[in-house]
């Protein structure tokens, strides 16, 4: 296998991709090199900026330099001894409508120049086209994908099988399924550029997931044209392993300064919010005094530093099991990104299935967006399938979450448990203590230390959506259990919503329900009231 997965978080993978020029680590960003004009030389991209790989255009090489790259070898021609990927000219087809080469010719040319990763000449779907035309691009791309294996003559080059269909998701599914049957080492989602230029990241989520869920999971997925660092976390979280970016240079020509949260116009800036080698010790005013060519070079170098730094940040988040937190942070940089993250609710079952059960760190929950986390869904599924209350329990005692975790180590729980044993003796075993807590809902005391029930922090006060969610989980837990009665110890900020759902569930089941309000302090008076209510419920 050319691809070996080392670490996972959400659908993201840190992996090793073996090419004939060396092994590279994913997620991997390929800076785009224009062979005609290079604002940053390929050698500097590796030596100074730390990129292991780059991508260039085989069609442009063929048209502008003809046999020279083949005679010298692509690595020597570009002055780069890392991994080189070549695109086939498909983007030029999308822009200009036609190009002066054939699928067979571009296959041979990529073999002749000795690229490491090659791409077939597919037909990009584009954005503003009919479904009929989109279907034709899928059909022709599949025909060309099948043709590769009749015409290629080398086995040491990794070939990319593109998935087309654009925003027509049923066509993306069909393309992914059929292309996935062919022995490609890498797949790529085609036609995302126009979607991203329109900031339709919610559509991009659907496109990526339509491809991802229908491709072989052991092959890396490339996202063409994902050039801005503020959306790397989203794409990686959805399982994209490889990216290419020309934006670092294109933005520089337009006087645009990248950050991990968006883009500035250089002529509108007073300060550089960056500590990269290019920005440290200077200011926008001084850069604007330089000749235009030097301004473009400065911006291209800064932009490339930002892209590399963000990819490293994403990788560290995967290692730490904190990719979701990083994704949420980046999503709040633009409403379109946050809208895309909320779209993940549609795919939470698939994400939960592939997300690691345990991680290297605790979890942070900021607001109701965090309810989509796979850890929350995983807990609810397991609670339903695998948990039953201890034998002999009759009464459910619901206690609010405490600041101390695990909750059973809190002063409040110890007081309740001690008083239960003293007042009821062996009969105390018929009382099942559970906590209701954000974002997991009902947490039985015997599961209190299971990851991540005690390894998380939630922002207080909770937003209304989160309180409603916990209340619904409480209702669901009562509905599927066989308790003879439920006693809810309330807490400020929770009581109205949770009490209403719990009371409704008990009424529906025909069992007694008792609510004891509290200001959050478990006084001796409150404990006495609690024991009195439990004694009455046990005797009924």
In angstroms, the CA 216 to CA 513 distance is: 51
Q: Are 137 and 125 in contact (CB under 8 A)?
A: yes
Phi, psi dihedral angles at 397 (to 5 degrees): -105, 110
Q: Are 302 and 276 in contact (CB under 8 A)?
A: yes
CA angle 461, 467, 471 (to 5 degrees): 150
Count CB-CB contacts under 10 A for residue 170.
13
In angstroms, the CA 94 to CA 306 distance is: 29
In angstroms, the CA 424 to CA 534 distance is: 10
Calculate the alpha carbon distances from 129 to 91, 132, 225 in Å. 16, 8, 20
Which listed residue (9, 87, 202, 355) is catalytic? 87
Query: What's the distance, Cα to Cα, between the start and end of the chain in Å?
Result: 66
Chain centre distance of CA 421: 47
Dihedral sign for Cα atoms in the order 289, 292, 296, 301: negative
Q: Is residue 87 annotated as part of the catalytic site, yes or no? A: yes
> How would you classify residue 384: left for phi > 0, otherwise alpha for psi between -120 and 50, otherwise beta?
alpha
Would you name the residues annotated as active-site residues? 87
């Amino acid at each position: 296998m050319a691809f070996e997965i080392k670490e996972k978080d959400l659908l993201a993978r840190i992996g090793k991709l073996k090419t004939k020029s060396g092994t590279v680590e994913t997620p991997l960003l390929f800076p785009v090199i224009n062979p005609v004009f290079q604002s940053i030389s390929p050698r500097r991209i590796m030596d100074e900026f730390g990129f292991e790989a780059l991508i260039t255009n085989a069609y442009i090489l063929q048209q502008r330099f003809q046999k020279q790259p083949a005679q010298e070898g692509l690595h020597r021609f570009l002055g780069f001894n890392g991994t080189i990927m070549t695109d086939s000219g498909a983007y030029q087809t999308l822009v200009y409508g036609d190009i002066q080469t054939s699928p067979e010719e571009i296959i041979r040319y990529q073999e002749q120049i000795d690229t490491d990763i090659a791409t077939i000449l597919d037909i990009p779907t584009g954005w503003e086209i009919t479904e009929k035309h989109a279907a034709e691009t899928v059909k022709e791309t599949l025909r060309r994908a099948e043709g590769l294996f009749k015409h290629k003559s080398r086995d040491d080059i990794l070939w990319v099988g593109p998935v087309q269909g654009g925003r027509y998701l049923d066509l993306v599914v069909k393309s992914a399924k059929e292309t996935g049957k062919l022995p490609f080492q890498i797949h790529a989602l085609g036609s995302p550029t126009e979607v991203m230029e329109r900031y339709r990241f919610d559509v991009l989520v659907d496109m990526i997931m339509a491809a991802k869920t229908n491709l072989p999971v052991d092959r890396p997925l490339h996202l063409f044209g994902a050039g801005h660092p503020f959306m790397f976390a989203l794409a990686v979280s959805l399982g994209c392993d490889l990216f290419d970016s020309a934006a670092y240079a294109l933005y520089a020509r337009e006087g645009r300064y990248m950050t991990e949260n968006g883009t500035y116009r250089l002529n509108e800036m007073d300060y550089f919010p960056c500590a990269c080698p290019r920005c440290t010790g200077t200011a926008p005013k001084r850069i604007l005094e330089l000749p235009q060519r030097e301004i473009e070079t400065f911006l291209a170098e800064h932009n490339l530093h930002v892209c590399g730094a963000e990819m490293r940040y994403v990788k560290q988040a995967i290692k730490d099991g904190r990719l979701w937190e990083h994704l949420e942070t980046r999503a709040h940089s633009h409403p379109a990104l946050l809208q895309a993250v909320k779209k993940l609710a549609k795919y939470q079952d698939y994400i939960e299935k592939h997300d690691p059960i345990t991680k290297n760190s605790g979890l942070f929950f900021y607001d109701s967006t965090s309810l989509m986390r796979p850890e929350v869904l995983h807990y609810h599924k397991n609670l339903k399938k695998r948990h039953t209350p201890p034998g002999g329990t009759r009464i459910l005692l619901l206690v609010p979450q405490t600041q101390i975790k695990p909750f059973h180590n809190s002063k409040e729980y110890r007081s309740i448990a001690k008083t239960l044993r003293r007042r009821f003796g062996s009969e105390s075993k018929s009382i099942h203590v559970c906590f209701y807590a954000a974002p997991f809902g009902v947490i039985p005391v015997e599961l209190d230390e299971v990851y991540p029930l005690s390894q998380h922090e939630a922002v207080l006060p909770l937003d209304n959506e989160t309180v409603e969610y916990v209340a619904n989980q409480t209702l669901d837990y009562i509905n599927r259990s066989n308790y003879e009665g439920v006693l809810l110890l309330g807490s400020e900020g929770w009581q109205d919503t949770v009490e209403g759902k719990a009371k409704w569930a008990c009424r529906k089941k025909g069992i007694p329900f008792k609510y004891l309000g509290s200001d959050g302090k478990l006084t001796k008076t409150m404990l006495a009231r609690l024991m009195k209510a439990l004694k009455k419920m046990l005797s009924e």
